[in-house]
Structure 1
Amino acid sequence: MKKYISAAAVLGLIVFCGVAAVLQSGEIQETQDDIEAMAQAEVIAEEEVPTSMADWRDNHLKVKGIYVTGPTAGSERMDDIISLVNETELNAVVIDVKDDAGNVTFKMNNENVISMDAGVAYIKDIEKLLAELKKNDIYVIARIPCFKDPILAATHPELALTASDGSPVTDANGNAWVNPTKEEVWDYILSLVDSCCELGFDEIQLDYVRFPIGQNAEEALYGAVSDDDNRQSYITQFLGRVCDEAHKYNVPVAADVFGTIIKSTADAKHVGQDYVTLVSNLDVICPMIYPSHYAAGEFGLDVPDAAPYDTIYAALEGSNEALESLRSGDGASSGNAAGGQGANGAVVRPWLQAFTASWVDGYINYGGPEIRQQIEAVYAAGYEEWILWNSKSDYSMGGLEK
């Protein structure tokens, strides 16, 4: 992917690896000013030019990752995260670039972010952090919540979702939503995608890429046709725009989706997320199939939260059934034992539960054994990738192979 090279990195390339580049250019950059100018001009080392997206699909890293908040990524705790990845089967981190409150977690060099004063310096030096993660061979995914954004809603009220009485459409925590039908909202997200690709993130992951539910969402005024069929069209078009933009940098795009849309057509239409359509158009799809999110009786289980293996396996078997229509001529469908991806579909990389859902009746504590059961269910269902979610980024080696 496209990467900025710091002055120090460029100097190192010139001293140790830059003979070929010097011969090609016929010049030697001798001064610090020259080196800084090269960095500012986004000099890209030839050996770092990425392969095509087709090559990525065939040869990409099989992600085993964890979610990391912005404050955690900017603290000394990140050293512990890096050590945990190095000591276990983990190989990737999903870092909040924008959190659910709309804060961009570092001082991003992005005109939109600067104009809204949306940048919060949780991460003091994003380039240094990315360099450290790459040094440790850690795959870095940029998480960007899309249509839940209180800062964008407050700064640009014309983009905010409101009910008929003028009140903002919010989630249960009071976080405001913006209008998924507005291309100005899309453009803001696209600018964040550009910035992340230029910084050197390995992958873009979009969250809240849907229409809102709950609270006063049913009263939302969109100023556009917003029946269920059109909702799917808006989301599909938006994701197409994001993929087109990120693919210019050969950066793959993932999207988080409700686990329930795998089998529920009604849920899929209402939030605008059709599972098969999204799999057909994305590089990665990340169904949130946390056992705690399923109601009692789902999959024939009295308490899905108390049956981590059975719940994950049943959810992913549902994925296999839903994606049967994408089966390729050689019998390999997207998401089956052929590697979690087929010729006609995205990688299926589920989110797994690394937290205890004490609010669920009949819940169990989630420690190492419960995490391992979920991972094994992923493999048993024919998938190879997964990500663990803990909202506090509180992880241990429990359940992870060394």
Structure 2
Amino acid sequence: MNERVKRIVHLILVADCAILLVYASFTYFIPFLNSVIHPVRYIKTDDVSMNVSVLSMDHNEASISQLTLPRGTMVSLQEANDTTSKVEYNDTVFTIGNEHLASSLEECISSEYVYPRRMLNLFDEKDGKLTETVADKGEQLEVASVSPEDLDVSTGIVNWYEVTKNDKNYWVPGSLVETSKELAEKNYGSSIQYLTYWDQYYGDGYSKDAYIDQVDYKPMIKPNYEDNVMPEQVNAYHVSLANLISNQNELLKIKDHSNINAFVVELKNDDGTIFYDSKVAKDYLKDPSQAIDSNVSLDQLEQLFTKFEKAGYYMIARIVTFKDPVFAKQNPNESYTDTKGNLIMHDGYYWPSPYSRKAWSYNVSIALELAPFVNEIQFDYVRFPDGTLQNTLDKTGDFHNTYNESKVAALQGFLSYAHTLLSDQHVYVCADVFAWPVVSKDDQDIGQFLPAIANVVDVVAPMPYLDHFSYGAMDIEDPMTAPKETLYKFSAITKTQLDNLDHPAKYRTWIQGYNLSSEEVKEEIEGIKQSGYDGYMIWAGNGDMDNLESILPGLS
């Protein structure tokens, strides 16, 4: 190799080294130097987030805006003083108290105690089973451990705390507790409106205690799962699993000539029947064969749902919850009985008690079994049986209220428990609600108080079927002959209650799809839209094709 070539090679090597040094300085040294000069800090706050005031100048005019910072937000320290510091976040510089800055995520989430916002059962392990051990509202629970891996920095919520009570360790969802007693006992329900009708039967102050004091109204931000995106507008038709299977070719094409983009599929009905080969029923039933229709395996069900999802449909699994004679017969101590423990038949059915944690776990276990391949779980009959007032007053009926809860608190507790576990699976939670408790602004003695439910689920689904309203309801002469006005007025009434919540569930109402013309169904949908809402679910029993085809012109 001649000298000229050697010099060229040498120059190239020198140039390469220089480039590498420049790259390394920008990639490693400058960030390192910046981290030394402006070290990282993390937002520490008792609540899940905090607001800070930010001063800015626009055309020589000063303005102050509010910046919300979730717990665990990473900021860059610009200038430290004795009590306050200047920090930078997303190119915005502001001053913050030093007590709100932590040097690590561990320090950021460290807390000696947590305090529940309402009475709740503790878990045996993270994502595990409920225990019989409860913690009362505002009760001090010593924190045994907490992991930075359980911190959701987008919301500031610590998903789980390990706590100690009576020398035993348990787990509690971080979304249901606070790190100060003051926050846990704060009245988040001051804007909630309710009527006191049931005080005349249960005593003065009953309604406030049942609807407000025992219930959690802290605003709960609703999830939006990137791997399970809920359509902006869900227009669903209810079908039995048998009809979904036998009519799948026709149903797969239905969105091509209608607005239907979702199906609600009944997978557990009010006879207690599970329409697939469930593997979890054996954990709750002595004889699971009485509940399981095993013609469809879990794998076959998954393949079917996946087929519809790939075709562009949003798939909702409907689970009837507290109307289940199979569970009641096999678990009488967890059900509605007389004072001697004999099951009470009410409206032709035996009913599990909504106070029963075993009934809670049974239905949530079924939901978790379905979670890997459904978009949403819909819980129906999330209520106590209606018309049991006299049995309660004369003490001849027993729901086995172990924890002395109000009916409203029990139902909210169940739905909160379901949401905690299903949110880990990125599955949305919906609850069906009778129409009349919404109109009456109480729970109609069945535990369904709309604000309490809408605060903890993702979707709330009232059932304002035209033929369920009496003459004169909502000042409508005959609701059955006024579909647009009925759905408009009902939706407007609902809106006034949901608007009192900072982060209410999405309103997606059921509409009547039977004994109506396609034009009348269309008018129902127009009434919903007139109220400012959209989306609906059509109930027509098992969802036979003949019925769907008869109303299809109104769904285009």
TM-score after normalising by structure 1: 0.74
| Separation of aligned partners in 2, 1:269 and 1:214 | 9
| Separation of aligned partners in 2, 1:122 and 1:391 | 21
Are residues 269 and 301 of structure 1, via their aligned partners in 2, closer, same or farther at CA, if it must alter by over 3 Å? closer
- For the Cα contact (< 8 Å) 2:284–2:358, is it kept in 1? no
Structure 1 moving runs of 4+ over 6 Å: none
- How far apart are residue 169 of structure 1 and its match? 3.3
- For the Cα contact (< 8 Å) 1:370–1:399, is it kept in 2? no
Give the equivalent residue in structure 2 for 1:236: 412
- For the Cα contact (< 8 Å) 1:98–1:143, is it kept in 2? yes
- For the Cα contact (< 8 Å) 2:513–2:540, is it kept in 1? yes
| Separation of aligned partners in 2, 1:155 and 1:88 | 44
- Are 1:150 and 2:319 counterparts? no
Give the counterpart of 2:381 among 208, 213, 217. 208
- For the Cα contact (< 8 Å) 1:89–1:400, is it kept in 2? no
After superposition, what is the alpha-carbon deviation per residue over 1:267-304, rounded to whole angstroms, capped at 9, x for unaligned? Answer: x1511111112111110000001111111111222211
- How far apart are residue 101 of structure 1 and its match? 0.5
Are residues 90 and 245 of structure 1, via their aligned partners in 2, closer, same or farther at CA, if it must alter by over 3 Å? same
- Are 1:314 and 2:464 counterparts? no
Q: Whose strand fraction is larger, Structure 1's or Structure 2's?
A: 2
1:284-299 correspondence to structure 2 within 5 Å = 284-299=459-474
Are residues 84 and 323 of structure 1, via their aligned partners in 2, closer, same or farther at CA, if it must alter by over 3 Å? same
Give the counterpart of 1:389 among 520, 539, 543. 539
- How far apart are residue 90 of structure 1 and its match? 0.4
- How far apart are residue 154 of structure 1 and its match? 1.8
Give the equivalent residue in structure 2 for 1:245: 421
Give the equivalent residue in structure 1 for 2:274: 104
Q: Whose helix fraction is larger, Structure 1's or Structure 2's?
A: 1
TM-score after normalising by structure 2: 0.54
Q: Which amino acid aligns with 1:221?
A: D
Q: Which amino acid aligns with 1:352?
A: I
Give the equivalent residue in structure 2 for 1:264: 440
- Are 1:69 and 2:234 counterparts? no
| Separation of aligned partners in 2, 1:92 and 1:400 | 16
1:2-401 correspondence to structure 2 within 5 Å = 54-56=223-225, 60-61=230-231, 62-74=233-245, 76-110=246-280, 111-112=282-283, 116-117=288-289, 118-121=291-294, 123=296, 125-164=300-339, 168-172=343-347, 174-198=348-372, 200-214=373-387, 218=392, 219-224=396-401, 230-266=406-442, 268=443, 270-326=445-501, 344-356=503-515, 366-394=516-544, 395-396=548-549, 397-401=551-555
- Percent of residue pairs identical: 24
- For the Cα contact (< 8 Å) 2:332–2:343, is it kept in 1? no
- For the Cα contact (< 8 Å) 1:257–1:286, is it kept in 2? yes
After superposition, what is the alpha-carbon deviation per residue over 1:338-389, rounded to whole angstroms, capped at 9, x for unaligned? Answer: xxxxxx1110000000012xxxxxxxxx010011000111111111110000
- For the Cα contact (< 8 Å) 1:116–1:155, is it kept in 2? no
Larger RCO of the pair (alpha carbons < 8 Å, separation 6+): 1
Q: What are the ranges of 5 or more consecutive residues in structure 2 without an aligned counterpart? A: 1-153, 156-221
After superposition, what is the alpha-carbon deviation per residue over 1:104-147, rounded to whole angstroms, capped at 9, x for unaligned? Answer: 11112324378512220354621221122122111110101111
Are residues 181 and 288 of structure 1, via their aligned partners in 2, closer, same or farther at CA, if it must alter by over 3 Å? same
- For the Cα contact (< 8 Å) 1:70–1:99, is it kept in 2? no
Q: What are the ranges of 5 or more consecutive residues in structure 1 without an aligned counterpart? A: 1-50, 329-343, 357-365
- For the Cα contact (< 8 Å) 1:287–1:351, is it kept in 2? yes
Are residues 122 and 377 of structure 1, via their aligned partners in 2, closer, same or farther at CA, if it must alter by over 3 Å? farther
| Separation of aligned partners in 2, 1:152 and 1:308 | 38
Query: Cα RMSD over matched residues?
Result: 2.6
- For the Cα contact (< 8 Å) 2:436–2:444, is it kept in 1? no
Q: Which amino acid aligns with 2:276?
A: F
Structure number with larger C-alpha Rg: 2
- Return 53-62 or 186-195, whichever deviates more: 53-62
Q: Which amino acid aligns with 1:237?
A: G
- How far apart are residue 171 of structure 1 and its match? 4.5
Match of 1:196, SS state, is: helix
Q: Which amino acid aligns with 1:323?
A: L
Q: Which amino acid aligns with 2:377?
A: I
Give the equivalent residue in structure 1 for 2:118: none
- For the Cα contact (< 8 Å) 2:519–2:554, is it kept in 1? no
- For the Cα contact (< 8 Å) 1:289–1:315, is it kept in 2? yes
Q: Which amino acid aligns with 2:322?
A: F
| Separation of aligned partners in 1, 2:446 and 2:270 | 18
| Separation of aligned partners in 1, 2:274 and 2:421 | 20
Are residues 56 and 92 of structure 1, via their aligned partners in 2, closer, same or farther at CA, if it must alter by over 3 Å? same
